[in-house]
Amino acid sequence: MDRLTSMELFVAVAELGTLNKAAEKLDISNAAATRHITSLENRLNVRLIERTTRRLSLTTIGIEYYKKCKDLLSEIDQAESSISSAAVEPEGTVTITSSISFAIMHITPLIPKFNKLYPKIKINLIGANRYQDIIDSNIDIAIRTREFEPDSNLTIRKLATTHRILAASYDYIKRKGKPKTIEELQDHDILLYSHANNPRILSLSKDNEIKNFALNPIMETNDGQIVRSAALNGAGILIQPLYIIYQDIVEGRLIPILTDWKLPELNVNIAFQSRQFMPIKNRLFIDFLIEDFKNKEYERYWSSIQ
């Protein structure tokens, strides 16, 4: 028998004084109510109710058990009420991880507006350029930029498609020249982001032709913002996704190089554990981020840079 239903029925019997009224309150049959009380007494191995032809009354131990059941059911009601309230006015902390560059450029600018809409939802933002295990690290949402997403138990929602390009500052090009062929890259200063997929091999395509070029960088770093800063200061040629350097290109701080050759596309994905029973706070942030990317048409603008 369902233990919680048996406890609820017992409390109703204690307060209403009859089994019939208690059964009616819980919308169960009298026979089912009798079985619940019998099962409860058998499990506890005590008599909880004294039965007479006119009325039921609690035994001494039944009174004690009634008090404990009443307190427990009250706590359950409060817990469910709290969850229902959270659904109406969502609250809690959303733990998000992404690369430091993505966090700076595409998450932190959204926080004030999101906080205004949902003031009881807090953001815990973890900048990490290596992908963390979502389950082991208690992460709600992970932003991942990859050529492909390996099979896993995670749910994936695509945010956008982008691609990497080669670019350098005007000062660097003025000093070292602008390479016109892939082979000319060997005479240039390359700034390497070490967490890229197969970072030391540049795989470029044009029409049906594919060329692989081995990189010999003058600087290597594990953070995209460091690579960007070095390139902006004229240190060399970077290879970075457009979600990081698009604005630098549009505003002329960086100049695209070898644009007739293409690097593999990258998918910007949102990864999370499961759609089933997803906390509303997580779903709200995911929907908010997707809507922002849609409204700002990032994918269309990024594809315009060739």
**Six token digits for residue 44:** 């506890």
CB 164 within 8 A of CB 266: yes
CATH number of 162-265: 3.40.190.290
Question: Rounded distance, CA 213 to CA 184, Å?
Answer: 11
CB 254 within 8 A of CB 168: yes
What mean pLDDT value characterizes the chain? 87
% of the chain with per-residue pLDDT over 70? 91
pLDDT (mean) for 139-161: 79
pLDDT (mean) for 178-203: 91
Query: What is the 3 state secondary structure string of 168-204?
Result: ECHHHHHHHCCCCCHHHHHHCCEEEECCCCCCCEEEE
What digits encode the pLDDT tens for the residues 37-46? 899 899 889 9
Distant-in-sequence, close-in-space partners of 135: CB < 8 Å, separation ≥ 6: 273
Instruction: Band the pLDDT of 198: cuts 50, 70, 90.
Output: confident
pTM of the predicted model, to two decimals?
0.67
Instruction: Band the pLDDT of 18: cuts 50, 70, 90.
Output: confident
What digits encode the pLDDT tens for the residues 60-79? 999 999 888 988 888 887 77
**Six token digits for residue 257:** 């190089």
Question: Rounded distance, CA 27 to CA 201, Å?
Answer: 70
Residue 178 predicted with pLDDT over 80: yes
Question: Rounded distance, CA 6 to CA 22, Å?
Answer: 11
Q: List every span in the chain annotated with CATH 3.40.190.290.
A: 162-265
**Least confident segment among 20-29, 49-58, 242-251:** 49-58
Of 2.40.50.140, 3.10.20.30, 1.10.10.10, 1.10.287.70, which CATH number belongs to 3-82? Answer: 1.10.10.10
In this prediction, residue 207 carries a pLDDT of 87
In this prediction, residue 81 carries a pLDDT of 65
Backbone angles phi, psi at 196, to 5 degrees: -70, 160
pLDDT (mean) for 181-188: 93
Residue 32 predicted with pLDDT over 80: yes
**Dihedral (CA of 144, 147, 153, 159) sign:** positive
In this prediction, residue 88 carries a pLDDT of 65
Q: List every span in the chain annotated with CATH 1.10.10.10.
A: 3-82
Question: Rounded distance, CA 135 to CA 195, Å?
Answer: 22
What digits encode the pLDDT tens for the residues 88-114? 678 899 999 999 999 999 999 999 999
In this prediction, residue 54 carries a pLDDT of 66
In this prediction, residue 144 carries a pLDDT of 86
**Least confident segment among 110-124, 135-149, 191-205, 260-274:** 135-149
